[in-house]
Structures are given as C-alpha cells and as structure tokens.
Structure 1
Amino acid sequence: MSAGRESLGDLKIGLKKNIPLNAATKTFAILAKRGAGKTYTAAVLAEEFYTNNIPFVVIDPIDVWWGLRLSSNGKDKGLPIVVFGKEHSDIPLTKDMGKEIAQAVVKENISCVISTFGMPKNQQRQLITDFAEELLNINNTPRHIFIEEAHEFVPQRVFGALGKCFNAVSNLVVMGRNRGIGVTLINQRAATINKDVLTQIDTLLAFRNIAPQDRKALKEWVEHHAAEGDFEKFMDSLPSLPTGEGWIWSPEFLEIFERIKIRKRNTFHPDREKLDTKFEMPTLTQVDVQAFIEKFQKTTIKKQLRETSLLDEPKPQAAPPEPAIDLVRIRNEYESQLIQKDTEIRKLNSVINNIRNLVGGNNIVTESIPQNHLRPEYTATLEKLGEAPRKIYETLLQHPEGLTRAQLSLMSGYSYKSGHLDRALAKLRTMQLVSKNYPVRVIN
C-alpha cells in the first residue's frame, strides 16, 4: 500500500522529539483508565506506522478500531485497512481463522483489525493463540501488533486453558523482535498484566490512572529497567493528568522520561459515550485491498468445502492391533546383559590393579591435558574476576552485539534487582573489560 506521505522517517505522535522508525519492532505498554486516551494514543501510533509503510495488526476485543477506516469527521474515508469481525467488518470472523489471517497478512503485507468483540472468550483465545504462533513462525518483515485489553491474553494469574494463549502472546512480546515483530500492550491496569511480560516492555506510556494497586507494578518495571527519573513525581501526577496527556518512560530505547501531549488523530475515534448516530463503514475502492478481501473469502470457502467433503467421506478401517510386547521377556534379557557387563568390568579392574602393582602405581606418568586454550593473559584475568563477574563476562562474550540489563539478567541467571549483578558489572567496568552504558558489551 502507498504510504500517503512523501517523506518517510520518524514517527510523530506528539513528543518533543520524534520516535525513530525502528520502533516498529520494539515493545510498548500504554496504560490508562477508561477515557484517558490509551486507545487514542495507540491509534495515532498506528497512523504513523501506516504513513511510513509499516504494516500493523490490531487485536481488538472492544470493537473500536474500525474507526481507522474513517477520517476524523466520521464521514470521509480513512486508512485502507481490512477489518475482520462482526458489525463493522469486511470479512466475518470465526475462531479457526487465526492461522489463515497470519499467513494472509504476511503474504500480502497488509494492515488489518481483528475485532473479536462478541466472541466467547475461549474462542477469542483460540483465535489469538493460532494467530500469534503462526505469525512468530513465518513473519520476515517489520510489523507491529497492537493488543487491546492485554490482560485478557497475558493476565497476572495464569491457569487452566489460559496457558496456551499466554505462552503464544508472551512469546510474541519476548521473541518477536527477532522476527521483525513489535508489540504494544494496551490496558487499563498495570497490575492485571503479567509482571514477567510487562518487565520485558521497552517503553512505557502512562496516562491518567488512580488505582493504588498499580503503583507496585509500575515500580517493578522502573526497577527492572534501572530507569532514571522522578518516580514519586510520576506517580503523584497520574490521578490528575488531563485526557491525552501523560508520561513516556523509555530508559534504554529512547533514553527519555518526559511529559507528553498526544497529537490529534487523523482518523475517527468512536467514543461510545458521545455516539448518537450509527456510522456506516465506507466501501474500499483500493484495488489491492479489495483484491485481498475477495481472495481471502474464496480461500475460506474452499477450506470449508474441503472440510465438508472430508466429513462425508467414509472413514478408513482401523489397522489391526500390533502384537502385544512381551515386557517380562525384555526386562529379563536386559537384566542378564547388565550382569554380564558387570562381570566384565570387575575382570578389567582386576587386570588394571595387577599391572599397577607390577610397575608401581606411584611411577605412572600421565600426560596432562590443558584445561583451556585461552591466551595466558586472558586465563589470568578470568581467574581474578570471581564467580559472578566471570559468569557475566562469559555471557557477554557470547553476545558481541551487547545486552540490555533485562537480557543480561535473563541470560546470566542473576536477578535484575540483585546486588551481585551491580557489583559484577562495576568490577568489569573498573577493569575496562565491558562498556559503561547499555547495551553493555565486551570491550576487548
């Protein structure tokens, strides 16, 4: 699809400095109470991705993202994206379409909204599980995924059937960057999102929020990233922030902590509290999108026909059962072999002892094998480091591109809150073995 703007580059969402385009493969969390501007902010970010030819997918359980198809006045045409869903959609959505949607958006490189509103939660989770797993497996170009009501898919407490969906979405957050995938989690509460997933987020955008329970979750995020900023000032301001104004905290990716005011949307924001008329979805005239809709519908029909024909076909007769395995016989043979081997080992030990007695055990000379093949100066340095610095240094040697604090913590096994990690890094930096800033990397 065409971008709609000649000059490509930074994302302009209202910051004092713009966000670089590689934000497409980064992770964000947008947190705010209802009506404070979290969906509005995410939509502005989506508009910027579209303008810069970065395709995106929105998982929309609340059915508000169809507004991207309309201009800000709710009358003219907006972005030419495909909407899967029920009421405001181009293609009806079913629970078994997740894998097909992932394949289609990657093959055609388009943006779309998956509106799961009205589907039972177990069906929503099946759909999103299939989509996330397939996308992580096949994606090969930069793409961004927005997830509304993130706590429905990566909740703080995971149990039962939630596990499969949680694993699929959390893998998308943690490993997506390696496949060119960025993720934005959108939620009212920080405390209801799984903390292990939330701490993997690169950039936090926080708007008006009054829940005291969220203070702990936000503080853990700040500590995990060793973020520099006035946490008390940040928390004290959240209850009284005007709509559309908030904070952006990005200690490693953008290296900023500042107040922001989000720019106005170019597309329609369906505020349900103010809507008093019914809006009609405009018919898409863009050839590439219309062709995608027709192709996807034909593929779906063919699949349904194949499944129907398979149901009508007579089932093949079951193969005759294999003969039962004689477990008792196998076990007896195995024990017999063990006894035989034990006897042989005893004989060999006896021969070795006799030889030692003849030649004198103390006079036997064995060739020593070097324990490592590092140059002497490196070996001496490693011996001086101590256990924690040496383990962290060896971890960094395996990653010459450098690691963030969170990645280093995960790969070395030391908690990001642990004093071991801080002391080990301080020692390595004093010895001028690693860089001072994140991502930390080996210097020599």
Structure 2
Amino acid sequence: MDIAPFLDKPTAIVGTTGAGKTFAAKGAVERLLDLGRRVLIIDPTGAWYGLRAGADGSAEGGYQVLIFGGDHADIPISPDAGEAVAEALAGRDVQAIIDTSEMTGGEKTKFLTAFLQKLYALNKAALHLVVDEADEICPQNPMPEERRLSGAFDKIVRRGRIKGFRPLMITQRPAVLHKNVLSQIGTLIALKLTSPQDRKAIEDWVKGNADAGQARTVMSSLPTLARGEGWVWSPADAVLERVTFPPIRTFDSSRTPDAGEAAVAPALTAVDVDALREAMKVAPAPETRQAPASGASKAEIEGWEQRGYRRGLKDGYTQGVADGQAELLARMKRVLNSVLDNELVVTSPEAVAIPTPAAASPDKQLKRPETKPPKTEASIGAERKPLAVLVAAYPAGYTEPQWASLAGFKRTGGTWSTYKSRLRTRYLVEERGGLWYATTAGVEAIGFAPPEMPATPEAGLAMWKSKLPGVGPMLDVLSRMYPDAISREGLAASLGLAVGGGTFGTYLSRIRTNGLVEEPQRGLLRLSPIIMGDR
C-alpha cells in the first residue's frame, strides 16, 4: 500500500528492536523523496546515510540528500551550529539528514534545542520532519537540562501544522515517548511490540483517537507480528490495514554485519553543497568586553572591579534563593506524604538531623536550642500537619497562602488561625519578611527525618493539584505550554471557560496566590519556572 497520503498527519512508527521498524521508516522516507517532498531527518544513530547509495552500495540509486554531521558529513557541524543549520534549511527546497551521532548527550541537546526553535520560527512551507529515536528528544520524564528541547519538539507536533510541519516520529519505546506528543499522532504504524508498557501506550492512544473494537484485533496481534509486518492505522481516513513492508531500495546502513563479514563502505551519490556552505557562514560574535581606557587611574580600575564584584554577588544570591525554593518543594512533598500516611514518629532530639546552610561559616551554623523538646507525640496535636509542611521546607519558608494550601486548610478559617497561633505561641514557627519558617525547636518537635521520595516537576504538579481544588486542568494546560506563555483568553478557551467568568477567575486566583504562575508580560501567563525546576 502507498502510505505517503497518511504521512501528511503527525505519524508515529513504533516497534521493538528487530521488528523491521527501520525498513518501514526508510521505505516511507524513500516514497516521500520520490514525490519530491521537503524532508529533514534528525538522526541520532548515524544510520540514515544509506539513503545516498543504492541497495548494492553503489552511487547509482541513491538520493541527493545532504548530510550534516557524522562520519559521512557533506557539511560538518558543531554543537553551536543549531541556529545556523536551521536558517540555512528553513527557506530552501532541500532534503537533508542531521546526524548527531558523534555528539555527547549535552552537545546533542544544545544543538537540537537551537535547531528546532529556529526551524519552528522560520519554516513556512510543507516539511516532513523525521525524528529517529524520538523518545530521546521528547521523553516522558525529561531531565531539567532537556526540558527546553522537549518543549521545542512538543510545540512542533502540537502547533506546527499551520507552519507546514509534518512530523514522523520513530521509536522502539512508545511508553517512554511523552504522552502529550504521542496523543497528537493521526497515523500509527505499529510493528511488533512485546513490552506490556509499550502496548499500554498504544492502548491509551486508541482511547482518544480510534475505535476500541478495532483495537482488540490490533493489540492482540502486536506481540506475534513477523519481522517487517505491521499495521497502518489512520482513523480519520478510515484506514486500518495489516501490511508487510517491502525491502528498502537504498543501502541498508543500519544492518549489523554477520560474524566474519566486513562492513561495506558504500559509494555515496554526489550532491552540491556550495550554496549551503555559503549560507551557513556565521560571522564571529563581536568582542564586547572593553579594555580599560588608556590612562585610566588605579582608582577607576578598582571601582570597575568593585561594581563587577557586587553585580556577581547579587546574581549569585538570586540564583541561590531560586535553587532553595526548588529544593523545598521536593522536601515538602516527602514530609506531607509521611504525615498523611501516619508515619511520623517522635524520636529523641539527638536522632534528628538539623540541616545547615552549606555555604555558612562554622561560627554561623545553626545550633540546636537548649530548651527542652517535647517528650511525647501527644504534646503536639492536630497542628502537627501544618508544622510538618514548614519542617519539610526548613530552613527555607513559605508565604502564608502557600503554607495553608499545602497543609490542606483554608487560610481565612478559624481552624487555621488556631493552629497557627498554637505553633507561633510555642515558638515552633516564626514569620520573617512575609514568609513563615519552622524554628529549630519546631524541627525537633516533629522529630523525624523525611523519607526519600522522587522529586520531579510532574510529582510537584500532582501535589499542587491535590491541594488546590479545581485547578488541575488549568495547571495541565500551563505545563503543556511551558516554557511558552499563553494568553488569558487562550487559557480560558483551552478549558472551555469564559475568560470573564467566575469559575475561571477563581481557579486563576488560586494558582496565582500560591505562586504557581507568573505573568512575563501583561495578559500572558506562564507556569512558574521554579515549579518546573528551571530555577
């Protein structure tokens, strides 16, 4: 069957190692190249260069596809060249492979983040963006340094159609690919899948996009499909067909040589790269640092040095505060879970580890007070729960609205006022500069070490959604948009609410009051970077 018509929608090709996924993907790309389509392939494996040679390894039968980076590069690239490559390709009718296989993980992230962001900004015509090992670029749980890359690709998949993007994602682990991206596909090409988690990811896609009755036939067959056999499923086109994918017509550069067999080095079809080399010339950045003016006095030079020192000190302090806020979110969740599970046990004060600021000098480190700590668990009543929230954040603090929300109380209620008064009267908490903190006596009164639990932005969002009624869908929209901002009108429309309505205003007020959203410019809203671990 000709699958080219179905590739105009976001498409995913999934299949375990050895299922024939590469043949299916390369066959699809060969068909697009035959049609003269614009195709860009992001290749972290170094295995796509075979498109430039015939099946027998000769130059005859290969496609004139430019190769950037890797062992077979027409144009070498560096980790800093992402924007330059995107600018050179965005406005041209070319077919190209971006080979990042020789880059380290950090270098790859740096290059692809800049590349995808600039490509999204500049592209205006139909473009098939093929991404091999897509779960590496947009994983379900990206590391903090990978979130900008994941967000850039997510934006292309969700909002890129109007700019001409036709993404084709290839992965052997659909369970690891971010669910926001997987949910957007319109065409699924599924080969053999044996992992229950990966089949579950396909089932989740079916629930939102396809017929559950048809799914039973597909799902039951996935573990037993033969190599090169799979399903092409495009619900919008009413297409569900089991097919056997034909051999590719170009060189199989991903094939593993048999024992004793020498690897074949194919002859690659020639391409003209001069115009692109010229387009990618990047002028060196101008030197902005100025040398001291001729004849500057010693006092002037010392003044410049002092201003630089003060600026660095201020920046460092700001970053330190932000890092502390991110850490306290993780610790707070660990304590709250223990409180809710009734796992708190009062121990002797000697068993409690009192954290001290790492940068503090020895003579300024926090000391345990000499006052006698509570002897029994009964000495702290129901106010233990709000105290535990501040102990989790110790030595950092919370605003009162945040503190009350995380403890599960209404800040304007009488119960909250009573508990806060009890804790303050007994010097277990204190207020400084608009924030509430646990004292060292409060830490000792709790008397336990918080259990270790995973700390991720997803877990933090789940915690806030459990504490603030009704805000879950709003936080979901903001987290999907992150790091981009969204207008108030756009946020309301995404939720099916009236922007001037009471429900929208109430939910927005709840997340604003608790510092979960920021307004980078008037009328735009963005999830707080602290919540997402970016500060």
TM exceeds 0.5? yes
- How far apart are residue 24 of structure 1 and its match? 5.2
CA separation in 2, counterparts of 1:411 and 1:28? 27
Question: Is the contact between residue 25 and residue 180 of structure 1 (CA under 8 Å) also seen in structure 2?
Answer: no
* Change over 3 Å in CA distance of 1:274–1:281 after alignment to 2: closer
Structure 1 residues 296-307: aligned runs within 5 Å: 296-300=276-280, 302-303=281-282, 306-307=284-285
**In the alignment, what sits opposite 2:377?**
none
* Change over 3 Å in CA distance of 1:316–1:299 after alignment to 2: farther
- How far apart are residue 249 of structure 1 and its match? 1.6
- Render the CA deviation track for 1:223-265: whole Å, top value 9, x for unaligned: 111435432321221111111111122112x221221121231
1:282 corresponds to which of 233, 255, 267: 267
* Change over 3 Å in CA distance of 1:316–1:53 after alignment to 2: farther
Question: Is the contact between residue 80 and residue 110 of structure 2 (CA under 8 Å) also seen in structure 1?
Answer: yes
| Local SS of the residue matching 1:306 | coil
| Local SS of the residue matching 1:230 | helix
Gaps of 5+ in 1: 1-13, 322-409, 415-444
Determine whether 1:294 maps to 2:294.
no
**In the alignment, what sits opposite 2:495?**
413
- Render the CA deviation track for 1:193-231: whole Å, top value 9, x for unaligned: 111110011111110111011232111100111435432
* Change over 3 Å in CA distance of 1:315–1:202 after alignment to 2: farther
* Change over 3 Å in CA distance of 1:225–1:19 after alignment to 2: same
* Change over 3 Å in CA distance of 1:315–1:278 after alignment to 2: farther
Determine whether 1:176 maps to 2:160.
yes
* Change over 3 Å in CA distance of 1:294–1:280 after alignment to 2: farther
**In the alignment, what sits opposite 1:266?**
249
CA separation in 1, counterparts of 2:98 and 2:252? 17
Determine whether 1:45 maps to 2:28.
yes
**In the alignment, what sits opposite 2:240?**
257
Determine whether 1:62 maps to 2:50.
no
Question: Is the contact between residue 207 and residue 238 of structure 1 (CA under 8 Å) also seen in structure 2?
Answer: yes
* Change over 3 Å in CA distance of 1:125–1:248 after alignment to 2: same
Structure 1 residues 217-232: aligned runs within 5 Å: 217-232=201-216
| Local SS of the residue matching 2:50 | helix
CA separation in 2, counterparts of 1:312 and 1:278? 50
2:132 corresponds to which of 148, 157, 178: 148
Gaps of 5+ in 2: 294-300, 308-491, 497-535
- How far apart are residue 268 of structure 1 and its match? 1.3
* Change over 3 Å in CA distance of 1:140–1:107 after alignment to 2: same
Question: Is the contact between residue 30 and residue 187 of structure 1 (CA under 8 Å) also seen in structure 2?
Answer: yes
Letter in 1 for 2:161: R
1:89 corresponds to which of 73, 77, 88: 73
Letter in 1 for 2:162: N
**In the alignment, what sits opposite 1:377?**
none
CA separation in 2, counterparts of 1:107 and 1:161? 29
- How far apart are residue 281 of structure 1 and its match? 5.1
TM-score by length of 2: 0.52
Letter in 2 for 1:282: A
**In the alignment, what sits opposite 1:165?**
149
Identity of aligned pairs, percent?
A: 30
Question: Is the contact between residue 24 and residue 54 of structure 1 (CA under 8 Å) also seen in structure 2?
Answer: no
Determine whether 1:114 maps to 2:98.
yes
Question: Is the contact between residue 71 and residue 266 of structure 1 (CA under 8 Å) also seen in structure 2?
Answer: yes
- How far apart are residue 272 of structure 1 and its match? 3.4
- Render the CA deviation track for 1:147-175: whole Å, top value 9, x for unaligned: 11111111011331111001001111111
TM-score by length of 1: 0.62
| Local SS of the residue matching 1:57 | strand
Question: Is the contact between residue 257 and residue 263 of structure 2 (CA under 8 Å) also seen in structure 1?
Answer: no
Deviates more, 1:145-154 or 1:269-278: 269-278
- How far apart are residue 284 of structure 1 and its match? 4.4
CA separation in 2, counterparts of 1:104 and 1:127? 15
Letter in 2 for 1:297: R
Alignment RMSD (CA, Å): 2.8
Determine whether 1:35 maps to 2:117.
no
Question: Is the contact between residue 32 and residue 189 of structure 1 (CA under 8 Å) also seen in structure 2?
Answer: yes
- Render the CA deviation track for 1:1-60: whole Å, top value 9, x for unaligned: xxxxxxxxxxxxx35xx542xx45420011001121212211111111111111101111
**In the alignment, what sits opposite 2:181?**
197
Question: Is the contact between residue 125 and residue 163 of structure 2 (CA under 8 Å) also seen in structure 1?
Answer: yes
* Change over 3 Å in CA distance of 1:107–1:211 after alignment to 2: same
Letter in 2 for 1:50: L
CA separation in 2, counterparts of 1:178 and 1:73? 40
CA separation in 2, counterparts of 1:316 and 1:230? 75
- How far apart are residue 120 of structure 1 and its match? 0.8
**In the alignment, what sits opposite 2:192?**
208
Letter in 2 for 1:295: A
Number of aligned pairs? 302
* Change over 3 Å in CA distance of 1:311–1:207 after alignment to 2: same
* Change over 3 Å in CA distance of 1:229–1:247 after alignment to 2: farther
Question: Is the contact between residue 57 and residue 265 of structure 2 (CA under 8 Å) also seen in structure 1?
Answer: no
Question: Is the contact between residue 26 and residue 181 of structure 1 (CA under 8 Å) also seen in structure 2?
Answer: no
Determine whether 1:187 maps to 2:171.
yes
CA separation in 1, counterparts of 2:8 and 2:164? 6
* Change over 3 Å in CA distance of 1:74–1:40 after alignment to 2: same
- How far apart are residue 299 of structure 1 and its match? 4.9
* Change over 3 Å in CA distance of 1:105–1:273 after alignment to 2: same
* Change over 3 Å in CA distance of 1:48–1:411 after alignment to 2: farther
CA separation in 2, counterparts of 1:83 and 1:207? 28
- How far apart are residue 129 of structure 1 and its match? 1.1
| Local SS of the residue matching 1:260 | strand
Determine whether 1:242 maps to 2:226.
yes
CA separation in 2, counterparts of 1:251 and 1:283? 39
- How far apart are residue 92 of structure 1 and its match? 1.3
- How far apart are residue 413 of structure 1 and its match? 3.0
CA separation in 1, counterparts of 2:292 and 2:155? 39
Letter in 1 for 2:274: E
- How far apart are residue 181 of structure 1 and its match? 0.7
Report which structure shows greater RCO (CA 8 Å, sep ≥6).
1
Letter in 2 for 1:294: D
CA separation in 1, counterparts of 2:291 and 2:244? 63
- How far apart are residue 270 of structure 1 and its match? 1.8
